[in-house]
Amino acid sequence: MKCRYCNSLNTRVVVTEHHGNETKRYCKCLDCEARYKTIETYALAKRGARPGVPQHENCRLKGEQVGTAVLTADNVLEIRRRAAEKQTYTQISKHFGIHKDTVYKIVKRKCWSHI
């Protein structure tokens, strides 16, 4: 970014503030030591879910409906049953061919929570 006063490219952003879709940058020229502020306004809102806006139909798919699902609902119930019987997550994961972290997430209902 060029300095507004001496047109030097030797500038630094000192502070950045974000306010909604507006960003303020406080800059300093290292040559003439001038300080100035820039304000950028973004026309597009940030990505993410917005309240009141319906989700896309693909975002509502769960469990076996997802095309890349490896497990079935019966598998999930079996994993939870084995965990209740004190089998280790490593043993369960080897039996079903999944990662032990996935077994943990299923048992703690962080994924497949709809079952």
Residues of the chain with confidence (pLDDT) below 70: 43-59
Task: Give the pLDDT confidence score for residue 108 in this predicted structure.
Answer: 95
pTM higher than the cut 0.75? no
State how beta strands 35-41 and 11-19 pair: unpaired
The dihedral built from the CA positions of residue 100, 111, 63 and 47, taken in this order, carries a sign that is: negative
Task: Give the pLDDT confidence score for residue 44 in this predicted structure.
Answer: 64
